[in-house]
Amino acid sequence: MRLLSISALGAALVAGALVAPATGEATSSGSNGIKVSPKTAHPGQHVEITVRACSVGPDRHWAQSTAFAKDVTLAGKGYNGQGKATIKGNIGSGTYDIVAHCGTKQVTGRVKISSRRSLPFPLPNALNPQAARFTK
């Protein structure tokens, strides 16, 4: 009976995790011109930004944010500008603005930072064979 209740609890936890949105999960929305990947950014993590309609031009194209450790130079392939940024290691959770400078125009976006890390084993040990390996 105990195994059945643990199984039901594990199934409920997994279902809840799949349905509920993660805290800090976000980047810029598709409508604002800047996409950030991965979707959940953490302090010290490297992220890739893509700025729509900001390919290489005669002037330097770059993006800045208070969340970035330093400004990012955008390199273009075709229509979009791309660059890699490092999120500051000491930054708190929240939403931060991004401004991309593309010649004479500016494109804005946002990035959400979450200082919460996901758990490596979301299931109880009885339901997760990998976690059980580490407890013996």
Cβ neighbours of 37 (radius 10 Å): 10
Residue 97 CA to residue 28 CA, distance in Å, equals 9
pLDDT-based confidence at residue 126 (cuts at 50, 70, 90): low
Which residue type does 106 have? Q
What digits encode the pLDDT tens for the residues 14-31?
Answer: 444 444 333 333 333 334
Residue 125 scores a pLDDT above 70:
no
Q: What is the mean pLDDT of the chain?
A: 75
Q: How many residues can be counted in the chain?
A: 136
Domain 23-116 grouped into CATH 2.60.40.1930: yes
Sequence-separated (6 or more) residues with CB below 8 Å from residue 45: 38, 86, 87
SS3 134: helix
State residue 63's pLDDT score: 96
Domain ranges for the chain: 23-116
